[in-house]
Amino acid sequence: MIEMIAAHPHVFWLSLGGLLLAAEMLGGNGYLLWSGVAAVVTGLLVWLLPFGWEWQGVVFAVLTLIAAWLWWRWLSRQVRTQKPADAALNQRGVQLIGKRFTLDTTLVNGRGHVQVGDSSWPVMAEDDLIAGTRIEVIAVEGITLRVKAC
- Mean pLDDT over 54-82 rounds to 89
**CB-CB contact of 110 with 117 (8 Å):** no
Residue 123 buriedness (CB in 10 A; 0-12 / 13-18 / 19+): buried
Query: What is the distance between the alpha carbons of residues 38 and 32, in angstroms, rounded to a whole number?
Result: 10
| Residue-level pLDDT at 123 | 94
> Domain extents for the chain?
2-80, 87-149
pTM of the model: 0.52
The amino acid present at 93, given as its one-letter code, is: G
Q: Which of 44, 74, 96 minimizes the C-alpha distance to 36? A: 44
pLDDT surpasses 90 at 4? no
pLDDT surpasses 80 at 53? yes
| Residue-level pLDDT at 18 | 94
pLDDT surpasses 70 at 82? no
What topology is assigned to 87-149 in CATH?
OB fold (Dihydrolipoamide Acetyltransferase, E2P) (2.40.50)
Q: Which of 3, 2, 60 minimizes the C-alpha distance to 35? A: 60
133 to 100, 117, 146: CA distances (angstroms): 10, 17, 15
pLDDT in tens, 7-41: 788 999 999 999 999 999 988 777 899 999 999 99
The amino acid present at 97, given as its one-letter code, is: I
pLDDT surpasses 60 at 85? no
- DSSP string over 32-94: THHHHHHHHHHHHHHHHS---HHHHHHHHHHHHHHHHHHHHHHHHHHHHT--HHHHTTT-HHH
pLDDT confidence tier of residue 105, bands split at 50, 70 and 90:
confident
pLDDT confidence tier of residue 83, bands split at 50, 70 and 90:
low
> For the chain, give me the number of helices (H) and strands (E)?
6, 5
pLDDT surpasses 70 at 84? no
